């Protein structure tokens, strides 16, 4: 039976343990304090698929989870929001758990562990009965997409079926790849969306214009540099554009980039022009930062349109 989706997300699924307002001054020999601590489903593929489903797209996720309570929690949240979980692979490998320390300004630092390095092979599960309007790689340069062969096979599958490919990026944590290491695969990417730090790391350049040009020289068709509170910069085959961010009082920036990308893909599938899609994506990212966790604030497309109307 053919499986039809608007968007297929492939990438990391995990649990985020979010610590807000951590005080590094010990209160005892082994004790510390924080404003709050909470558990949230996370990982780029989970964050993005949840957002895309809320925005009205038929969304599926291909990821690896352990046969443990953490994995059950991820599946429950995905199914509750209408994401198709039939492609998820469950194994004895534990579900990754990330500890996130969130500062007052919404910035964060994270701690990963060996569970994040599971060498899952998603390309083995991409079958001819899949009909997809857009394929999103949640975390290029992180497992499983820190393996050039996995990257090449996954993107080649999409290109052979005429599926546009969107890739978000991450800084490396275990295995390190450069753009040159995956040069053969980069022309297969239609859209890539690194944040400013990631773009600087992989391009070696300092300005968004220079960063984007490096990716373009490697053959990526459209490059969006996410600039946080400074907005975003796009450079593509038909021109370039810089848009400001929406003024917002950030609580937690976790998942803002994933919500941004979900908004971008959703609106492009709706037929929006690039400037409209970028504004919508900026709004999704801004809304995400107004609550702790990556999927608590965004509700639906109507909410985003209302936000855009209120913010001119």
Return the HEC string of 144-191.
Answer: CCCCHHHHHHHHHHHHHCCCCEEEEECCCCCCCCCCHHHCCCHHHCCE
Candidate from 84-88, 160-164, 197-201, 252-256 with smallest mean pLDDT: 252-256
pLDDT of residue 169: 95
The string of pLDDT tens digits covering residues 71-87 is 999 999 999 999 999 99
Give the C-alpha separation, 161 to 274, whole Å: 23
pLDDT band at 106 (very low <50, low <70, confident <90, very high): low
SS3 195: strand
Adjacent-strand bridge partners of 236: 239
* Chain center to CA of 138: 5
DSSP 49-99: HHHHHHTT--EEEE-EEESSHHHHHHHHHHHHTT-B-TT-EEESSPPPEEE
Could you state, in order of their start, the residue ranges of all structural domains in the chain?
Answer: 3-23+37-310
Percent of the chain with pLDDT over 70: 96
Residues 57-71: tens digit of each pLDDT = 999 999 999 999 999
Provide the pLDDT confidence category of residue 190 given band limits of 50, 70 and 90. very high
Please report the pLDDT score of residue 2 as a whole number: 84
**What mean pLDDT comes out for the span 265-293?**
93
Domain 3-23+37-310, CATH homologous superfamily name and number:
Ribokinase (3.40.1190.20)
**pLDDT at residue 70 in the model:** 93
């Amino acid at each position: 039976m053919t499986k039809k989706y608007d968007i297929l997300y492939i990438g990391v699924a995990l649990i985020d343990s979010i610590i807000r307002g951590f005080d590094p001054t010990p209160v005892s020999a082994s004790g510390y304090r924080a404003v709050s601590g909470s558990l949230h489903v996370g990982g780029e593929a989970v964050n993005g698929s949840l957002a895309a489903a809320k925005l009205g797209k038929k969304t599926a996720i291909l990821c690896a989870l352990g046969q443990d309570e953490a994995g059950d929690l991820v599946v429950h949240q995905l199914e509750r929001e209408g994401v198709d979980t039939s492609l998820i692979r469950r194994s004895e490998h534990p579900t990754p758990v990330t500890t996130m320390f969130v500062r007052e300004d919404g910035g964060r630092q994270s701690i990963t562990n060996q569970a994040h390095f599971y060498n899952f092979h998603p390309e083995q599960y991409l079958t001819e009965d899949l009909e997809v309007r857009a394929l999103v790689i949640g975390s290029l340069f992180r497992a499983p997409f820190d393996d050039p062969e996995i990257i090449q096979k996954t993107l080649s599958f999409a290109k052979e079926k005429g599926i546009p490919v969107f890739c978000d990026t991450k800084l490396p944590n275990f295995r390190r790849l450069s753009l040159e290491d995956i040069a053969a695969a980069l022309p297969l990417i239609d859209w890539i969306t690194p944040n400013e730090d990631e773009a600087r790391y992989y391009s070696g350049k300092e300005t968004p214009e220079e960063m984007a040009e490096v990716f373009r020289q490697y053959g990526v068709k459209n490059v969006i540099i996410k600039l946080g509170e400074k907005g975003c910069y796009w450079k593509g085959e038909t021109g370039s554009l810089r848009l400001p961010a929406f003024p917002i009082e950030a609580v937690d920036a976790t998942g803002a980039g994933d919500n941004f990308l979900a908004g971008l893909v959703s609106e492009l599938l709706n037929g929006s022009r690039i400037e409209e899609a970028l504004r919508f994506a900026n709004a999704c990212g801004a809304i995400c930062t107004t609550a702790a966790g990556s999927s608590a604030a965004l509700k639906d497309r109507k909410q985003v349109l209302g936000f855009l109307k209120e913010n001119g």
